[in-house]
Amino acid sequence: MADLSQKEWEEQLEKDSNAVILDVRTEEEIEEGIIPNSINLDIYKGQEFIEELEKLDKSKNYYVYCRSGNRSGQACAIMKSLGIDNAFNLQGGFMNWEGETA
């Protein structure tokens, strides 16, 4: 897992043809907007969250974000424990995001 600044996260994501953007926020938080093309898996759903992670393609590179960067950091650690080696945490999360939103 790597903590990336928004600039690093965006630059790496742009060059990555094997990327998946993962939003680990709640449904209420998603109403504030999302980073385009992201998939939502709410980390607060506990076991259901883990089961969804287990279904993910381990060969992909995951760019993970939440509201502030804390939960996405935890999500990256959980993903690592499940054998997903390429998870990148967006430092500062969505509340500091300055890019495009949907």
Alpha-carbon gap, residue 53 to 47, rounded angstroms: 10
3-class SS of residue 49: helix
Alpha-carbon gap, residue 93 to 70, rounded angstroms: 8
Active site residue 66: yes
pTM exceeding 0.75: yes
**Tokens at residue 14, please?**
């742009």
Q: What does the pLDDT look like over 7-31, one tens digit per residue?
A: 999 999 999 999 999 999 999 999 9
Q: Which of 53, 66, 75, 79 is catalytic?
A: 66
**Tokens at residue 87, please?**
């998870």
Q: What does the pLDDT look like over 33-67, one tens digit per residue?
A: 999 999 999 999 999 999 999 999 999 999 999 99
